Chain A
Amino acid sequence: MSKDLSYSAINARKNEIMQSAMGIDYSKFELPGIGFDYEQMMREAAYSMEEMERIQREHAVGNTPLIELRNLTKLAQKYAPEGKGARIFMKDEACNASGSFKARRASISVYEAKKKGYKGVICATSGNYGAAVAAQAAMYGLNCIVVQECYDSRKVGQPEILEKQRICEAYGAEVVQLTVGPELFTTLLKLLEETGYFNASLYTPFGIAGVETLGYELAMQCRSTVGRDPDLVLVTNAGGGNVTGTARGMRKAKCNAKVAGVSIDLAGLHMASDHDFNKKSFTTGHTGFGMPFMSWPDRCDCPRNAARMLRHMDVFYSVKQGETFYITEALASLEGYERGPAGNTSLTAAFALAQQLNQDQVVVVQETEYTGAGKHPMAQLSFARENGVEVLFGHPDDDVPGKKIILPECPSMIKARPHDLNMTRRSYIKNCVKNYKMTEATLDDIQFIMEDSKASYEFVSEELQKHGVKIP
């Protein structure tokens, strides 16, 4: 008898589909209560630094240059107090095969798929990760399907995503394009079941561990070129994989620099809204992914998400769309690097934060991404105008996502706006209580929450009690 292919029936088979599409038995990492052994999962399911470096070196990934942005540093120093204005460095991740740091994640995932004997790989992404998986699959001779959320109900596609469709097809992938909606996940499940391919999810231990080489490399390169560790490493943040992998890699290099996540502020735009879909000018690196994933990482297409921001991030900032377009233009016209724009989110914050640090200190921006038709400030800004978004010069604080993009009148107006991570920790704990229907907590539960959110015992127990959870 053939299987029931209705959406509800497919969703009901989620666990068995995922188990066979990833070859990881997540249940063995589960602890009694609400927690799981994250470090054991990362140790057992992923690879060592040496193995990953080898895999990546053989597949045109990694060892990207660390470039000093002298003119941008000079610009920051013009607006900084006397003696301030740290040196800004940037890892040119656009040099990876497929043009972004996502190649690091894809290289380990696709290697794993090949090793386990899968005939193909599938990923659900509208971003650079699709291109990365398609390129790596091409190298291994594996089939690749990329599932994209691409169009609104008028079949108007976001230019950045249309470009990702083109590049995935250039690498030989089949691209399945959908209109807006979270049911994309069910389409992914259906395709995994139909093909028996590997789920090259962004959130497996492989997908995250692949980024560890980036954190490791930047620490080593900084030591060899500048003679010291960075003081601050800035990471563009969406689902949290970039922050998680980078921080873990830095830790393995014994580098204790502060790790900052940075997202574009898209507050007020609903990510699953047909109307809002084409009102945003950044399709990744924004708060629409960053905030929900920070306060509940296990909302992804894996039973346990290996990307865990609160566990790894020290500080979090947001920047505005107009500020990031401005800095993208600055990178091109002052430094000779046409990159981004979405990958320049953390560079925007770096420009502002360098002004608070001393001139002998070092700020590292750990990524760039390729640019081109569709994926360019000009394409994005003119698309914004076509969709009724005003684009004008002014003060970036007046930016209203979906309504107004404000290009700063002067670079001195560019800011990194700190976010109170304790607020996010509170939301995370609230989600633990709600999603696990907690009425009482064991010491193990509390320990897990403390580790997963970098919070103290007092903080966690107080929050749990506020939600009526009994503590030992």
Chain B
Amino acid sequence: MKQVKKGDWVQISNTILKAGDRAPQVPEDTQACDLKMWVKGFIQEDAKIGDNVEIKTAIGRMVKGQLCEVNPKYTHTYGDFVPELVQIQRQLREIIFGGESSV
């Protein structure tokens, strides 16, 4: 298991409400899920993924939770290519500019 060093930038998670303890207005499918929370910060002690640890967040708040990632990266992208968007673009340019200028 990867060793995480005190001072590393990490993400922790917490279960805030257990399934079954959710707010009454929550629909049935969500009632069956825990309400979970994630937050990032500097870890206050050496630890391993899955340990219960304490972090200091970007604004200096101390939060305890289960260690889930070190240097968590941003995973969102432009997604897979969507060829329909090129078709739309070509259609529009054909309508407005027409003929050769659209090729």
Chain A contacts to B: CB under 8 angstroms:
7, 71, 74-75, 78, 120, 143-145, 150-151, 153, 155, 157, 159, 162-163, 165-166, 169, 172-183, 187, 194-195, 270, 272-275, 325-326, 329-330, 332-334, 373-374, 376-383, 385, 391-393, 407, 410-411
Q: Interface code B72-103, partner A: CB below 8 Å = 1, 0 otherwise?
A: 00111111111011011101110110000000
Give Cα A275 to B28, complex, Å: 10
Give Cα A374 to B76, complex, Å: 5
Give Cα A195 to B17, complex, Å: 21
Chosen A-B contacts, 24 in total, with CB atoms closer than 8 Å, are A74-B96, A143-B59, A162-B76, A165-B74, A166-B76, A169-B58, A172-B59, A173-B59, A174-B41, A174-B58, A174-B59, A178-B16, A179-B36, A180-B33, A181-B30, A183-B16, A274-B29, A274-B30, A274-B33, A330-B92, A373-B77, A378-B80, A379-B77, A407-B84
Cβ 8 A contact of B34, one of A179, A378, A407: A179
Which residue on chain B has the smallest CB distance to residue A168? B58
Q: Interface code B9-43, partner A: CB below 8 Å = 1, 0 otherwise?
A: 00000001100011101110110111111111100
Give Cα A274 to B81, complex, Å: 27
> Contacts A272-B30, A330-B92, A373-B77 given; 7 further ones with Cβ under 8 A?
A75-B96, A178-B37, A179-B37, A181-B23, A334-B92, A382-B79, A407-B88
Interface flag for B2 (CB, 8 Å): no
Give Cα A392 to B87, complex, Å: 12
Cβ 8 A contact of B29, one of A163, A275, A379: A275
Give Cα A226 to B14, complex, Å: 56
When distances are taken between beta carbons in the complex, the residues of chain B under 8 Å from A392 are 84
**Beta-carbon contact of A162 and B75 below 8 Å:** yes
When distances are taken between beta carbons in the complex, the residues of chain B under 8 Å from A378 are 78-82, 85
Q: Sort A-B residue pairs by CB-CB distance and give the 3 closest, nearest first.
A: A382-B79, A374-B76, A153-B33
When distances are taken between beta carbons in the complex, the residues of chain A under 8 Å from B74 are 162, 165-166
CB A147 to nearest CB in B, in angstroms, measures 9
Which residue on chain B has the smallest CB distance to residue A409? B91
When distances are taken between beta carbons in the complex, the residues of chain A under 8 Å from B39 are 174-177
Cβ 8 A contact of B27, one of A179, A183, A272: A272
When distances are taken between beta carbons in the complex, the residues of chain A under 8 Å from B79 are 159, 376, 378-383
**Beta-carbon contact of A411 and B92 below 8 Å:** yes
When distances are taken between beta carbons in the complex, the residues of chain B under 8 Å from A7 are 16-17, 21
Give Cα A374 to B17, complex, Å: 29
Contacts A144-B59, A174-B59, A178-B37 given; does A163 touch B80 at CB 8 Å: no
**Beta-carbon contact of B76 and A75 below 8 Å:** no
CB A404 to nearest CB in B, in angstroms, measures 13
**Beta-carbon contact of B27 and A270 below 8 Å:** yes
**Beta-carbon contact of A330 and B88 below 8 Å:** yes
Give Cα A163 to B36, complex, Å: 19
When distances are taken between beta carbons in the complex, the residues of chain A under 8 Å from B81 are 378, 382
Give Cα A272 to B33, complex, Å: 12
When distances are taken between beta carbons in the complex, the residues of chain B under 8 Å from A174 are 39-41, 57-59, 61
**Beta-carbon contact of A178 and B84 below 8 Å:** no
Which residue on chain A has the smallest CB distance to residue B81? A378
When distances are taken between beta carbons in the complex, the residues of chain B under 8 Å from A380 are 79
When distances are taken between beta carbons in the complex, the residues of chain B under 8 Å from A382 are 79-82
**Beta-carbon contact of A391 and B22 below 8 Å:** no
**Beta-carbon contact of A329 and B96 below 8 Å:** no
**Beta-carbon contact of A177 and B76 below 8 Å:** no
Cβ 8 A contact of A180, one of B30, B59, B78, B92: B30
Which residue on chain B has the smallest CB distance to residue A150? B38
When distances are taken between beta carbons in the complex, the residues of chain B under 8 Å from A273 are 27, 29-30
When distances are taken between beta carbons in the complex, the residues of chain A under 8 Å from B32 are 274
**Beta-carbon contact of B82 and A391 below 8 Å:** yes
When distances are taken between beta carbons in the complex, the residues of chain B under 8 Å from A182 are 23, 25-26
When distances are taken between beta carbons in the complex, the residues of chain B under 8 Å from A181 are 17, 22-23, 26, 30, 35
Which residue on chain A has the smallest CB distance to residue B38? A177
CB B79 to nearest CB in A, in angstroms, measures 3
**Beta-carbon contact of A177 and B77 below 8 Å:** no
When distances are taken between beta carbons in the complex, the residues of chain B under 8 Å from A144 are 59
Give Cα A391 to B41, complex, Å: 39
Cβ 8 A contact of B93, one of A155, A334, A410: A334
**Beta-carbon contact of A329 and B88 below 8 Å:** yes
